[in-house]
Amino acid sequence: MGLSRLAALHGVATSYSPSPDVTVSVPDDTVIAVLAALGVDAGTPADVRKCLAAAESRSRLLPPTVVVWAGEPLPPALAGLPPGSTVTVEPEPSDLPGHPAGRPPAPLSMRARAAAPAEPVASGESAPEAVPAPEAAPAPGAAPAWWIPPPHGVHRIHVRTPDNRRATATLVAAPPRLPQPPEGTHGFLVQLYSLLSARSWGMGDLGDLADLAAWAGRSVGSGFVQVNPLHAAVPGKPTDPSPYRPSSRRFPDPVHLHVESIPEYGHVRDRAALDDLRQDAAALSEAVLNKGALIDRDAVWELKRQALELVAQVPLTPGRRADYCDFLAEQGQALEDHALWCALAEVHGPDWHTWPEALRAPRSPGTARARSELLDRVDFHCRLAWLTAGQLAAAQRAAEDAGMGVGIVHDLAVGVHPAGADTWSQQEAFAHGMSVGAPPDAFNARGQDWGLPPWRPDVLAATGYAAYRGLLRGLLAHAGALRIDHVMGLFRLWWVPEGRPPTDGTYVAYDAEAMLAVLVLEAHRAGTSVVGEDLGTVAPGVREALARRGVLGTSVLWFERDWEGDGRPLAPEKWRRDCLATATTHDLPSTAARLTGDHVTLRHRLGLLTRSLEEELTADLTDTAEWLALLARLRMLPEGDGDEEAAVRAVHRFLRRTPARMTGVWLPDTVGDRRPQNLPGTWDQYPNWRLPIADPEGHPVTLEEITASPRLHGLMEVLRPRKPRTAPPGERRP
């Protein structure tokens, strides 16, 4: 009982329910290991009693972070303050990135009369007169009369009680909901590396993204393009190709740069060297597009790095230099740390755990010396971050100029590589020796270990979610919307102790109210929408909490069934409205592969099936036949059975019939690609994250060929909004 109570105080679960009627106990060893990662020693019964007594004896006047939502009741931490307490709000500096420009500094403190039953006062934008005590209790759902809402932001709140107890905390003041995308918008989903154009250097880049967005907005009326995470990868040979296991989520990877679009490129003196690099890049693309080669990120980066070294030798013009200096000032210490990690990785390798002891901490004297010695390389990596940010902004501008109502939808991975820049620069924020994953479920009896160290919820709260805020601010700077992978991680994550199977993990809770408030605040400042990937096991109440704050969900056609009823495919009118509706994702078979059963034979060939091939094919055929029958009943498949292209169009016709705010089209579906970009459960058995978009026969196709494809244009006609018929002269419209 003592261990369970101690675990509960720190948000560590001692049991979980993989299904409503099943409860599984977590091994004590797991609970002890997770508590240790949170800085709590529970190794012996005596340790448990000591830590429990210490935890239960602590009485906090305020939690480390307090959330207030505009127009909503105060949280118990504030509403329940002792009568006669005073509250002072120290406002967020108005010069922070994302802060409303021109706002004068708010008063540092105000104080109400002592006669009120409960009379704390928060700072506002001007200093009002003292607020008298209310004559009656406030209406349900309203804040008490003494509360003067601070402006949206992340402030410091100071409390003093009549008996002179004091507390200071971070105050997150957030708007109640996120901005919403236009109703009924459609767009493309694409893994950027897989989208090669005639000018690409062996993989898709930000120039290709801008071009796709400009074409899609103007030619087929798309409202957005959603891409994979563009986070900085851990360098190495080979580099981990997964965009969902990055070195840093805060900064983008310069491998996505379109080198020729950099203004300084045209002024490089050594043109012969650049020409040689371009020829080598053309050979890389030729190998991928016409010779069956896989996308080789390392080879692409080697060529781009050499070209960027030449570009960096060109002096910046005064205006460009001023812009670069502004970028450095805005990004501050976070960028300097990231660039230093990149420079140190060039010298000592990509795993900071193996570096000389003096360099393993970002603030050590040895690291300070290295920072000075590697100043040129640090500046080079800072400049790459600036150039990449500039091309990200250009892609969003291209989308907006093309009339897109949303633009580029960026993707936030659920975690980072344990050896990367973020874990080095923010060591105190991560639970070392732990990995994020998923518990056993109906789809994977062994559970999953994703190899990503989790953030410590206690450190996040104690630091006012500074790392999380900086991460969001960077991602949202050039986004029209943000997709959050495994959005359930805002509420809880499955922690797996190092060296143990995923079945021996447990859930650790996060302060979802604070995580959501920071997300809503930063997205509100950026004017962006948010889509949460909420597929798989979702705890009760999570989807409702997300919807309340305006976070859209993700609905994939093949999973949308009446699970609480007859289990049949869900009729379009019964789908939820606040979601991104799609036929597939990067982790699932393409629509053509699903319709033909090719995905089953692929998994059989790789030894991934848990039943015989015949059983799997029969189950898959039954599932697909149910959906096709529904499409036929709804008259969405006039061509009848046996026409694959028509069936793909019918699937998207169905998606368009749902009330979903956003409809996403997997770009490979537009040309009949049958190969998944990622096949979960495989590593070297399948070329995950290294395939170009291809036609039904597996031959790669370029951006130019995709946009000219009759199959694509036939599919996109399904998604075009119907224009109202114009009545002839003299005829009245009904």
DSSP-derived 3-state class of residue 16: strand
Confirm if 447 and 503 have CB atoms less than 8 A apart.
Answer: yes
What average pLDDT does the structure give for the chain?
90
Q: How far, in Å, CA of 461 to CA of 681, rounded?
A: 34
With contact defined as beta carbons under 8 Å apart, do 507 and 495 qualify? yes
> Mean pLDDT throughout 556-562?
95
Residue 479 has pLDDT above 50, yes or no: yes
**Contact call for residues 496 and 485 (beta carbons, < 8 A):** no
Distance of CA 208 to the CA centre of its chain: 22
Among 24, 222, 31, which residue's Cα sits nearest to residue 713? 222
DSSP, collapsed to helix, strand or coil, labels residue 628 as helix
Query: In b/e form, how buried is each residue of 620-659, taking b as 16+ CB within 10 angstroms?
Result: beeebeebbebbeeeebbeeeeeeeebbbbbbbbbbbbbe
CA atoms within 13 Å, Cβ hemisphere of 224? 31
Q: Cα 215 vs. chain centroid, distance in angstroms?
A: 25
Asked if the peptide bond before residue 238 counts as cis, ω within 30 degrees of 0, the response is yes
Both tokens of residue 412?
């936030």
Distance between CA atoms of residues 539 and 537, nearest Å:
7
Q: Are 493 and 510 in contact (CB under 8 A)?
A: yes
Quote the CA–CA distance of 494 and 382 in Å, as a whole number.
Answer: 34
At 144 the pLDDT is: 65
At residue 199 the predicted structure's pLDDT band, cuts being 50, 70 and 90, is: very high
Distances (CA, A) of 223 to 40, 397, 404, 656: 49, 13, 4, 14
> What sign for the dihedral angle of Cα 287, 289, 292, 293?
positive
d(CA 486, CA 621): 29
pLDDT at site 205:
98
What pLDDT score does 122 carry? 45
The CA–CA distances, whole Å, from 548 to 69, 131, 544 equal 12, 32, 6
> From its phi and psi, is residue 619 left (phi > 0), alpha (psi between -120 and 50) or beta?
alpha
pLDDT score of 461 more than 80: yes
Mean pLDDT, range 312-339, rounded to an integer: 98
> Token pair of 639, please?
């061509």
Write out the two tokens for 184: 């009924």
What angle, rounded to 10 degrees, do the helices at 710-719 and 644-657 form? 30
Contact 569, 560 (CB under 8 A): yes
Q: Cα separation of 33 and 433, whole Å?
A: 9
Q: What is the pLDDT of residues 703-719, one digit of tens each?
A: 999 999 999 999 999 99
* Arithmetic mean of pLDDT, 44-48: 93
- Position 106: which residue type? A
**Which of the 8 DSSP states describes residue 266?**
G
Q: What share of the chain is helix, strand, coil (3-state, %, to 5)?
A: 40, 15, 45
> 32: which 2 tokens?
């002890």
At 550, list the tokens. 């305006």
Mean pLDDT of 316-341: 98
pLDDT at 15 over 70: yes
Return d(Cα 339, Cα 350) in angstroms, integer: 13
Rounded CA separation 164/166 (Å): 6
Closest by CA position to 509, among listed 2, 6, 7, 3: 7
The C-alpha atoms of residue 70 and residue 138 are separated, in whole angstroms, by 16
CA distances from 700 to 129, 202, 286, 674, 709 (A): 70, 12, 10, 11, 13
Q: Are 531 and 481 in contact (CB under 8 A)?
A: yes
Rounded Cα distance, 540 and 538, in Å: 7
CB atoms within 10 A of CB 306: 16
**Structure token pair of residue 240:** 């981990």
The per-residue pLDDT for range 617-630, each reduced to its tens digit, is: 999 999 999 999 99
Q: In terms of Cα–Cα distance, which of 671, 710, 585, 703 is closest to 195? A: 703
Could you tell me what percent of the chain has a pLDDT over 90? 82
CA 299 to chain centroid: 27
* Cα(79)–Cα(82) distance, integer angstroms: 9
CA distance 114 to 691: 69
What is the separation of C-alpha 681 from the centre of its chain, rounded to a whole number of angstroms?
A: 22
Contact 636, 658 (CB under 8 A): no
Average pLDDT over residues 149-154: 93
Do 158 and 636 contact (CB within 8 A), yes or no?
no
Higher pLDDT pick, 589 / 113: 589
Q: Identify which has the larger pLDDT, 373 or 60.
A: 373
Least confident of 118-132, 232-246, 320-334: 118-132
Three-state SS sequence of 345-395: HHHHCCCHHHCCHHHCCCCCHHHHHHHHHCHHHHHHHHHHHHHHHHHHHHH
| pLDDT at residue 133 in the model | 33
What is the model's pLDDT at position 727? 42
Whether residue 62 has pLDDT greater than 70: yes
Rounded average pLDDT over 649-655: 97
Q: What is the CA radius of gyration of the chain?
A: 27
Cα angle 10-14-17, degrees, rounded to a multiple of 5: 120
pLDDT at 86 over 50: yes
